[in-house]
Amino acid sequence: MEAADPQSCGGNPSYGLCVKNGSSERNSLQFDDPIVKNLVDNGRSILGFSMTSPDLVICSASPDNAGISYCDSPELFKKNKNCYNLDSSMELSLENGINGPEVEVYNVHKTPTVKFSNVCQTIEPEEELVSPEASFELHPPPVTKDDESPRDYSLNDDEMLEDGRVSQETESEGSEDEEDIGVEEKFQKLKRDFECQRKELAVTRRELGELKRENHKKSSECQEAFNSLNELQNELMRKSMHVGSLAFAIEGQVKEKSKWFTSLRDLMRRLKIMKMEHMKLLEEAEAYKKYEADISEMGLIIKSKMNEQIELHEDLKSKYVEGAKVQKELYNKVLELRGNIRVFCRCRPLNAEEMKGGASMALDFDSAKDGELTVLSNGSPKKTFKFDAVFGPQVEQADIFEDTVPFATSVLDGYNVCIFAYGQTGTGKTFTMEGTEEARGVNFRTLEKMFDIIKERQKVYRYDISVSVLEVYNEQIRDLLVSGNHPGMSARRLEIRQAGEGMHIPGLVEAHVNNMTEVWEVLQTGSNARAVSSTNANEHSSRSHCIHCVMVKGENLLNGEHTRSKLWLVDLAGSERVAKTEVQGDRLKETQNINRSLSALGDVISALATKSSHIPFRNSKLTHLLQDSLGGDSKTLMFVQISPNENDLGETICSLNFASRVRGIELGPPKKQWDTIELLKHKQMAEKTKQELKLKDFQIKKMEETIHGFESKMKEKDHKNKTLQDKVKELESQLMIERKLARQHVDSKIAEQHQMKHQEEQNNSILRSTSLTNRPLATLKNFNDPAKPLMENILKPYSIPFSTIESSIKCIDHSEKENNPDLADNKSLLPKRASRASMCTMMTPRIPSAATSRRNSLIPLPSLTQFQTPFIPKLSNQEMNEESETTNCSQPLQQGHSESPKEVKSGVKKIGSILRRSIHKKGQVRSPLQHHMRKVGGVNVGMEKVRVSIGSRGKLAQRGVQVGNGSRRGGGAKETQHKNSHKDKERAWI
């Protein structure tokens, strides 16, 4: 069967069916209705389904029949315009399926429109949809009135006869001039043709009936698909709602989580700071521990030193005991010497001149060993003197010094010692004291001995020796070590001052000597500077009293004792008789001064001998200077020098008498000359050390206290750290509990939602059943009557006013729901939503919704906005109400009159694309969406992370959904079968 070409049919605007016979004869059945032409055109309907294929509906916007789509191809439209009457239009409704009798043709002033259904867009244009698939809902087509019987496009026999008659009349009128026989034959032929055509028409009618039935089948399948599509949309809607609520819950959880994280971060920072402080305190504590260890080490060292000192002290004590013994022995010897003044008598030998003059010896030295000296007069003993020692003319310098050594020792022991030589001029005083280079005198030897002893004592004692050399010349003190002081020259006068430690001459040069070389130089310097002149008695007579003052500072290294002692080595000027020496001028003056000072010395000695209360030390410079040595607390050694010449006997006896008086002086026990300054210094040092020890003890106590304080602080810090760590742990545990509670809350919400949905569905089903029961029995009969068209049965329940659905759509603001789960959970809104969903669930066999997988992102797909913008705004409230009303009315095909063809086109396109996409999504894996969501990137990253963190919850939710659908599990096998069949159908459609 082919659609007849209008042009081939004589250019008549009317159309018909051309039937090919087996004899290749082409008979055409012409119809005025262009729809019939469309039905048979190329075996495919421009309505979108094939007349020859059982696959039925191919969506006009389907890419499979893009070139044959209905009304969306301008070419076809143009072609149709060219082919049909320009003014004619048609209007088909797929809502009622492709039902031949239901196809109505309108001739004039009709706009070709196609009404799939009243597409109910549940999502407002401004809404942020979660899923485009969930954003629309296709409602079943409006009800076709039962009383509207489908128009039968078949031609009646009468009409055909009339047509034949008409054609016969026209032919007969046209063939008046033809022959009668031919007419009869033609008539018969035409009659036969007519009969054939009638038969063919009957066949065609049967075929048309078959086509109708097939059409019914296809329409029922289409309705099923439509219902399943609605079901899927509703499921998608529910899922999107669920996803929105989940997203809101997640957002809340994320916010709470961020708060917890910030608090946790703060706590961690505090903990870090506390840890840093703890580390610092630990370091300080370690440092203090080190200090403590150092202090303990110091204490140990001090203790060891103390022990050493104690040992040394003990050693010194023992040594001191030994020294004390020696000292006692020496003291006993001194006592044996009758006091502290020892007098040695030395007689010089006769000089060559005296020997020439035949001088005789006036002294007897036979008992000299016993310290006795006998003065002879004319060969007979005149007087005997007893001295500590008597040295004859042949006694050498060294022998004399042997008895002098103890005085040197006494000086280093801290005693003041005075060794002086007294005697007549020229008797050898200078020789005894100074000596010569070959025969050193007492001065040199004493100092030498002293240095020897110092060397011996250097490990125990430390000495400082300085030497001053001065002379008393004409009652003036002269410093012989000052350069430029020449004899006879006026020099700066030195005065004697009384100091704490004795007599002191300010400005006197003190030459420090460390060895005998230096001593010799000093002695030579002084000797050279001494005033010496030649007299009758002595070629080199000393005209002054020469005094060597050796100052000794000793320090006992063991006990720290300091001593300051003096050794006076005095070479007195020789007494002489003026008449005898016959001196004049300066020599006389010098002699007078010398004798005066010697007389003063004699007076002092006499006073000391008689223990006079007044000792005239100040009568002369000499006695004043030797006050310490003669005073009693020093040791004195006097060499009384005598001449053996009988001519000098008088002077000898005077000298011996003087010496005898000196020897008779009983001086008190010598006193050790302690260095009081050093003693004071040591006392101060001892006090200082005591104070330092006290301070150190105080510091040690303070350090111990600080260490104790730090330890207590450390303990406090440790306690604080522990408490903080416990707090952190508590907070973490609280956070975990909160997370668990939030998860449980979300899961419970999801479960509640599912339960609510389930209940609502049940309620709605009950309501629908009640509404069905309230319906007329005829309708129910029709519904249950399989002979009736399925669309009639299906579309009946959709008589619910659409305004309620629309209002429910309006009321549900998805954006608000997503941001406010309470709103989403609002029970007042749920029935509206449920009423919309129930329209699909009640009347169609329930297609179990497969557990739709969660979307990978919550952001809307780009296609949604494209879809919403042109289409959704058109569905205003009024329009929707109108549409719902018109849906209820008997003319469903007139609903789209208010819409322009372009809008309808775009709407149809979008609906088709959405349907295709949703079916494609249902039939295929959701990978495209996932792929798309992965591409979304930046915005979705945060939520993606959150999703990862709540993945288990998502699973739980999915489980919850499955649990919520537990009632469906009973028919699980059936459902799966149904699913598979449904999917197979979808694939077949695609």
Ligand X SMILES: Nc1ncnc2c1ncn2[C@@H]1O[C@H](COP(=O)(O)OP(=O)(O)OP(=O)(O)O)[C@@H](O)[C@H]1O
Which residues here bind ligand X, judged by CB under 6 A? 348-349, 351, 393, 423, 425-431, 538, 540-542, 573-574, 641
C-alpha to C-alpha distance for 774 and 902, rounded to whole angstroms? 41
C-alpha to C-alpha distance for 397 and 394, rounded to whole angstroms? 9
The residue (of 107 and 351) whose beta carbon lies closer to ligand X is: 351
Residues in contact with 728: Cβ distance below 8 Å, sequence separation at least 6, in sequence order: 264, 267, 268, 271
Smallest distance, Å, CB 495 to ligand X?
26
**204 annotated to a ligand binding site:** no
Smallest distance, Å, CB 590 to ligand X?
11
**423 annotated to a ligand binding site:** yes
Smallest distance, Å, CB 514 to ligand X?
29
Smallest distance, Å, CB 402 to ligand X?
16
The residue (of 428 and 797) whose beta carbon lies closer to ligand X is: 428
**426 annotated to a ligand binding site:** yes
**Residues in the chain, total:** 990
Instruction: Find the angle CA(867)-CA(871)-CA(874) to the nearest 5 degrees.
Output: 155
CA-based nearest residue to 676, from 553, 563, 555: 563
Indicate the pairing of strand 562-571 with strand 416-423: parallel
DSSP H or E stretch at residue 689: helix 676-774
Smallest distance, Å, CB 465 to ligand X?
26
Smallest distance, Å, CB 503 to ligand X?
24
Number of Cβ within a 10 Å radius of residue 311 = 10
Q: Give Cα separations from 255 to 243, 249, 612, 739, 946 (angstroms).
A: 18, 10, 118, 12, 11
C-alpha to C-alpha distance for 563 and 578, rounded to whole angstroms? 44
C-alpha to C-alpha distance for 287 and 764, rounded to whole angstroms? 83
C-alpha to C-alpha distance for 425 and 536, rounded to whole angstroms? 10
| Separation of first and last alpha carbons in the chain | 27
Smallest distance, Å, CB 336 to ligand X?
27
**429 annotated to a ligand binding site:** yes
Show contacts of 367-373: CB within 8 Å, 24+ apart.
368/392, 373/345, 373/347, 373/656
Q: Is 252 helix (H, G, I), strand (E, B) or coil?
A: helix
What is the three-state SS of 487-516?
CCCCCCCCCCEEECCEEECCCCCCEECCCH
Max CA-CA distance within the chain? 244
**428 annotated to a ligand binding site:** yes
The residue (of 571 and 806) whose beta carbon lies closer to ligand X is: 571
Number of Cβ within a 10 Å radius of residue 902 = 9
**631 annotated to a ligand binding site:** no
- CB-count exposure of residue 689 (10 Å: 0-12, 13-18, 19+): exposed
Smallest distance, Å, CB 589 to ligand X?
16
C-alpha to C-alpha distance for 408 and 419, rounded to whole angstroms? 10
The residue (of 395 and 823) whose beta carbon lies closer to ligand X is: 395
- CB-count exposure of residue 570 (10 Å: 0-12, 13-18, 19+): buried
Q: Which two structure tokens, joined as six digits, stand for 438? A: 């070959």
C-alpha to C-alpha distance for 473 and 622, rounded to whole angstroms? 10
Give the count of alpha carbons within 13 A of 121, CB side only.
27
Number of Cβ within a 10 Å radius of residue 387 = 24
Backbone torsion region of residue 853, taken as left when φ is above 0, otherwise alpha when ψ lies between -120 and 50, otherwise beta = beta
The residue (of 99 and 427) whose beta carbon lies closer to ligand X is: 427
Backbone torsion region of residue 8, taken as left when φ is above 0, otherwise alpha when ψ lies between -120 and 50, otherwise beta = alpha
Our measurement of the distance from residue 865's CA atom to the centroid of its chain's CA atoms, rounded to an integer in Å, reads 50
Contact 916, 990 (CB under 8 A): yes
The residue (of 112 and 574) whose beta carbon lies closer to ligand X is: 574
Residues in contact with 783: Cβ distance below 8 Å, sequence separation at least 6, in sequence order: 772, 792, 793, 796
Smallest distance, Å, CB 538 to ligand X?
3
Smallest distance, Å, CB 358 to ligand X?
18
Smallest distance, Å, CB 532 to ligand X?
7
Number of Cβ within a 10 Å radius of residue 835 = 18
Indicate the pairing of strand 15-20 with strand 89-93: unpaired
**886 annotated to a ligand binding site:** no
The residue (of 50 and 581) whose beta carbon lies closer to ligand X is: 581
Smallest distance, Å, CB 615 to ligand X?
26
C-alpha to C-alpha distance for 789 and 137, rounded to whole angstroms? 24
Contact 94, 102 (CB under 8 A): no
**709 annotated to a ligand binding site:** no
The residue (of 441 and 892) whose beta carbon lies closer to ligand X is: 441
The residue (of 465 and 573) whose beta carbon lies closer to ligand X is: 573
Q: Which two structure tokens, joined as six digits, stand for 241? A: 């709602």
Q: Which two structure tokens, joined as six digits, stand for 604? A: 């002092």
Smallest distance, Å, CB 368 to ligand X?
14
The residue (of 315 and 399) whose beta carbon lies closer to ligand X is: 399
C-alpha to C-alpha distance for 578 and 587, rounded to whole angstroms? 9
The residue (of 142 and 426) whose beta carbon lies closer to ligand X is: 426
Smallest distance, Å, CB 537 to ligand X?
6
The residue (of 392 and 554) whose beta carbon lies closer to ligand X is: 392
The residue (of 243 and 347) whose beta carbon lies closer to ligand X is: 347
Smallest distance, Å, CB 332 to ligand X?
32
Sheet arrangement for strand 26-31: 2-3, 15-20, 26-31
The residue (of 426 and 632) whose beta carbon lies closer to ligand X is: 426
Q: Cα-atom radius of gyration of the chain, to the nearest Å?
A: 77
The residue (of 542 and 913) whose beta carbon lies closer to ligand X is: 542
**Binding annotation:** 423-430
**Binding annotation for ATP:** 423-430
